[in-house]
Amino acid sequence: MPSPLDALDLSSHRTLANLSSAELVERALSAGEGRLAANGALVCLTGDRTGRSPNDKFLEEVESIKPKIWWGKNNQPLSSAGFDLALKIAVEHLNTRPKVYTFEGFAGADAAYRLGVQVVTEQAWHALFASTLFIKQGSKAAGAPAAFKKDWTILNAGRRRLTPDEAKAIGVKGPVLIAQSLTRKTVVILGSEYAGEMKKSIFYAMNYDMPEVGVFPMHCSCNVDKKDPSNVALFFGLSGTGKTTLSADPNRALVGDDEHGWSDRGVFNFEGGCYAKCIKLSRDGEPEIWNAIRFGSVLENVVIDDKTRTPDYDSSKLTENTRVTYPVDFIQDAVIPSVAGHARNVIFLTADAYGVVPPVAKLTSEQAMYYFI
């Protein structure tokens, strides 16, 4: 039975594939998708969705994966018929655009555990985000040259919102939908222009795939001692607890800021870029991140001065969740490709406001396992 995805028109006359960062910035500016900041970064707004929409994320429920998923609030089921309809709406929308952009690259710095990711979007800045955050073909971050083989497809139709009748037919309640199928290896984004949905969808995929091949997927940052590469540290924590800030240590080499796998070979980054929070960012407090925000990076929902184009990182006028995306090699002395040995130090950033643990605590193995869970 043919899939709605088969109808996607990626013919050469309308598809702009794997463009350079410079050309994507030019096209984004020309289309009015963003503005250039004084530091060279492209500044884009994401509308009323300035963060991920977890209540609008749904997973296709099929028998082959049903026993492996912890269904509930964080893994909401969607019927196959509903997924088909969402996919059809996204494909039809993208097919009406005069041009579409595609990015084809990788998730997984260790080639032994790598996924090929294709992103299709109508906006140049979303393609720039993908090429910044994932691993580009032929880059140093990709390691040895390898032919691209697509494992996952992301259809980003974020400007297309569902009508009430469409939402009802799909089986959801609102105009925004992030639908993912683990069996079809496809993600559909409707109604949200927040670029972080693309990043988290592939992390979701890696979370499902990696344990099957003996790799522990981790929401953590990682760095190593510049003089002793066996001194590897992991920093676990929820969003906003300091993973990116602490991993971007000028005295240590960055491996990655958010998503990693731990195999019997060691730790490796899932991504080719970083996605850092910008609120209250300062040159003195976080010099590595400050210096990484330049041409080729993307600022999301950051207020800039109309005349000077200087970013106001203290402003939360649009959202507290202001963000920047930049390639990992924009951090000085970053480890490229982003692979390291086994972790010697594991640090939990709890942001504990209840006094359950002291401000700094060294845990036994049993305590570490308890607090990790």
Please give the positions annotated as active site: 52, 200, 219, 239, 243-244, 258, 323
Three-state DSSP state, 192: coil
Task: Measure the CA–CA gap between 371 and 247, rounded to whole angstroms.
Answer: 21
Q: Is 265 exposed, middle or buried (0-12, 13-18, 19+ CB in 10 A)?
A: middle
Structure tokens at 108: 């997984």
Q: Is 111 exposed, middle or buried (0-12, 13-18, 19+ CB in 10 A)?
A: middle
Q: Please answer whether residues 248 and 286 qualify as being in contact, where contact means their C-beta atoms are separated by less than 8 angstroms.
A: yes
Characterize 120-156 residue by residue with b for buried, 16 or more Cβ atoms within 10 angstroms of its Cβ, and e for exposed: bbbbbbbbbbbbbbbbbbebebbbeeeeeeebbbbbb
Question: Which residue type occupies 186?
Answer: T
Residues in contact with 227: Cβ distance below 8 Å, sequence separation at least 6, in sequence order: none
Residues constituting the chain: 373
Task: Measure the CA–CA gap between 104 and 117, rounded to whole angstroms.
Answer: 6
Helix (H) and strand (E) counts in the chain: 8, 23
Q: Please answer whether residues 125 and 42 qualify as being in contact, where contact means their C-beta atoms are separated by less than 8 angstroms.
A: yes
**Three-point CA angle 30, 93, 321, nearest 5°:** 60
Q: Is 16 exposed, middle or buried (0-12, 13-18, 19+ CB in 10 A)?
A: middle
Q: Please answer whether residues 263 and 300 qualify as being in contact, where contact means their C-beta atoms are separated by less than 8 angstroms.
A: no
Residues in contact with 367: Cβ distance below 8 Å, sequence separation at least 6, in sequence order: none
**Three-point CA angle 303, 306, 311, nearest 5°:** 35
